[in-house]
Chains A and B, each alone.
Chain A
C-alpha cells in the first residue's frame, strides 16, 4: 500500500535535483510551483532555480514561463537542467519539444513517479556519463549532497587514494560537470544504494574489511597503485577499535541495535557493530529498496509509524537513524547515520566511509552507549 504515515524519504524530484545540483557547471531549474521548489532548496542547500508556475499556467500552458526562466538563467553560461514536478508532467505539454531549440537537459521526475533513489538514477542516466578508456585513476560514486556525510566521505577517500597513489577521476555526483564524460573505467563506492553504474565496480568503502578488499582490487587494475600504506593504516586503526570495544565490553553488555537507514549504510552499521561489539541487531529498517539477494533481513521503514512499531516491538537500547528517529527514541541511546540530521549543529566534514568513517562511527556509538550508563 502506498499510503503512509509521516513519510520519511523525499520524492523522485528531490532525488533528481540532488544528483544534478552536485555538479559544478550545472544550473538546475525546478519546473513547478514554489512549494515544490522550496523543499529541495532548503534540504540540499544548493543554488536551485524555479519556474514557480501558478494556476494561470496550469490552465493556459507553462511554455512561455518555462522559456522565460530558461532565457534568464542561460546568461550564466552553465548547462541547464530542467526537472519536472508532478503537475507540469501531467499537463500534456510536450516539454521536450518546447526545449528542443535550447541546450537543456530535461529530467522528467515527478514526485509520484517514485522515490529519491529513482529520481537520482534517472537524472544521472540523463547526464549520459561516459567512460574514457584511457582515463587513469578511479571514480568515486554513491556521493550525494543530500547525505550529511558526503563531503566527509569524499575527503576521506581522496586521502586514502592519495596514500595509495591512485588519482581520482570523477566523483558521482559532486564534481565538475565536464568530468561526467571523462570517467575512469573503474569505480569505488561510498553508498551502493545510489551507485552510478559507471565503469567496473571495484567495491565499496564502508567498513574496514570492505575497504581493504576494495583497495586490494584497485592495485590489481591500476598501474603503480600501492595499497600497502592503506592496509597498514586499516590494521593499526582496527587494533585501536578492538581495544576500545573490548574495554567497553568489560563493563557493559553489547547493545541491542535498531538501524534505520539506506540499505548500504544500515548493512555497514550492522556488520561493524556485530564484528567489534558482538552487538545484537534487532531490526534493520531501510528507506531504500534492499539489494536483491541480500542475506540480511531488511524491513522497509518508510514512515514514522513503521519506525515506531519496530522500536516498540524490538525495544533496542541503541538506535541509529535520522533526526526523524531521534524524537521517537525516547531515552534510548541514539546515533545519527541517516539524512536528514537536523536539530544539531554540524560544521565539520564527518565521513562514514573509509577508515575515518569507521573510527568516527564507533566513537559515536560507544560515547552514546556510555552516556546512557552515566
Chain B
C-alpha cells in the first residue's frame, strides 16, 4: 500500500529509470546489459524481467551483469568494479553491451560513460539512467529507445511500419502486437521491426527503413520526435483504443502511408459489429465503473463500449473491471467484455 500520491510529486510513484531502460535493453537478444550498482539493483530487475518472461511463456531469461558494488566501492569509488565487469562481459563476446547506472553509483559520482568509452573490443553503449536520480520509469524507456535508435543509420524508407516502445513488461504485450498487425494488414501494410521487442542489434540497423512509426502510447512522443528528426518518418502517437479510436487509427495510418482506406474501414466496422453482437445479452445491464484514479481517456473508452451495448452506467450497477491500461483495438474490447460478462453473470 503506497501512500497517496501528492499532486505536485507524482513522479515519486512512477518507478525506477533503471527498470524502464532495462525493459528495453534486455529485449535486444544478443546483447548484455550491465547494471553498475549493488547486486540488489540487478537482482530486483532480473527478478522482475524473469517473472515477466514466465508470464509471457518464455524460457529465455535476459542476461544482466552486476558490477556488485559493496560498501568499499561506495566509499572509494566503483569505476574499477565497472571496468572489471565490462572486461568480463566483453569476454563473452556479445554483439553489444549496454551500460546502465544506478542511483547509488550516480550519487557517489562514478562516471559510467567514461568507463564505457574505453576500448572493450565490442560496442559498449551507455544508456542514461541513474535510478530515481535519472527520472522515472518512462524516462528510462525513452532514454533507452533514443540511445538504441542512434545505433541505426538513416536509409531509404521502404513503405513498412515500425512498432515503437511496446511495453515489454505488459501482460498482454503479444496480444496487443497481434491486434496492431491485424489492423495494419487490413490496410495492406507490413511490419518492419518491433523497436524494441525481442530483436537483434542487426534488426535495429533496419530501423530507418520504415515509412511510419506507430508509438505504443503518447508517453514516448519524445522518441517519436527523435526518430522523426533522425530518419524523417512520421508517427502515430498511440496504439488504438476504443471503438471509434480503432477506426480513427486506420484513418490516420492510411493517410500517413497514402494507402486506400475504404475497404479496411468497412471490414473493421463489420468486425466490431460482430464482436458487439456476441455480447448483445448484456444490453440493458446496469454496471458501475470504478473510475477513481483513471485517466479521462480510459473512462471515455469504457463508457463508449458500455453505450454501444446499451448498458446503463450507474452507482448501483454491477461493478465491472476497468483496465488501468486501455484495451488495444477491437480485440482488446472483446477480451474486456468477456471479463465484464464473467462478473455480471457471477
Residues of A within 8 A of B (CB): 1-14, 33-39, 42-43, 47-50, 52-55, 58, 69, 72-73, 86-87, 90, 110-113, 302, 304, 323-324, 327-328, 340, 342-343
Contact = CB atoms under 8 A, between A and B. Distances in A.
Nearest to B19: A35
Interface string B33-58: 00001111111101110110111000
B68 A340 contact: no
Given A33-B16, A304-B61, A324-B61, A54 B11 contact: yes
B104 A90 contact: yes
A152 B62 CA distance: 32
Contacts of A35: 15-19, 41, 44, 103, 131-132
Describe B's contact surface by its main secondary structure: helix
Contacts of A111: 38-41, 104
Interface string B256-292: 0000000000000000000000000000000000000
Which of A2, A47, A58, A69 has the most CB atoms of chain B within a 10 A radius of its CB? Answer: A2
A7 B66 contact: yes
A3 B132 contact: no
Contact of A342 (B41, B54, B104): B54
Interface string B221-238: 000000000000000000
Given A3-B84, A12-B40, A86-B38, A343 B55 contact: yes
Contacts of A69: 3
B12 A34 contact: yes
A59 to B, nearest CB: 9
Which of B13, B69, B107, B132 has the most CB atoms of chain A within a 10 A radius of its CB? Answer: B132
B88 interface: yes
Contact of A4 (B51, B66, B73): B66
Contacts of A343: 51, 54-55
Interface in B46-86: 46-48, 50-51, 53-55, 59-71, 73-74, 81, 84-85
B44 A37 contact: no
B308 interface: no
B107 A58 contact: yes
Contacts of A87: 103-104, 107, 131, 133
Q: Indicate the size class of the contact surface on chain B.
A: 35 or more
Contacts of B73: 112
Interface string B290-323: 0000000000000000000000000000000000
A21 B1 CA distance: 12
B85 A58 contact: no
B39 A54 contact: no
B65 A3 contact: yes
B255 interface: no
B50 A112 contact: no
Q: Which 9 A-B pairs rank lowest in CB-CB distance, beginning with the nearest?
A: A35-B16, A11-B40, A2-B68, A343-B54, A111-B40, A33-B132, A52-B12, A39-B44, A327-B59
A54 B44 contact: no
Given A38-B15, A111-B38, A304-B61, A2 B69 contact: yes
A112 B70 contact: yes
A95 B60 CA distance: 42
B14 interface: yes
Nearest to B50: A324
A52 B68 CA distance: 24
Contact of A52 (B3, B39, B133): B3
A43 B104 contact: no
Contact of A327 (B38, B60, B65): B60
Contacts of A110: 38
26 contacts: A1-B84, A5-B64, A5-B65, A5-B66, A7-B46, A7-B68, A10-B43, A12-B40, A33-B16, A34-B14, A34-B16, A36-B16, A36-B44, A38-B15, A42-B48, A43-B47, A49-B3, A52-B3, A86-B74, A87-B104, A87-B107, A111-B40, A111-B41, A324-B61, A328-B61, A340-B51
B41 to A, nearest CB: 7
Which of A4, A11, A47, A69 has the most CB atoms of chain B within a 10 A radius of its CB? Answer: A4
B39 A11 contact: yes
Contact of A6 (B2, B41, B59, B61): B61
Contacts of A86: 37-38, 40, 74, 102-104
A118 to B, nearest CB: 12
B3 A34 contact: no
B15 A52 contact: no
Contacts of A49: 1-3
Contacts of B12: 34, 52-54
B108 interface: yes
Given A13-B40, A37-B2, A47-B1, A54 B70 contact: no
A327 B61 contact: yes
Contacts of A90: 74, 104, 107-108
Contacts of B65: 3-6
A36 B12 CA distance: 12
B43 A11 contact: yes
Contacts of A12: 40
Given A5-B64, A35-B131, A340-B47, A11 B3 contact: no
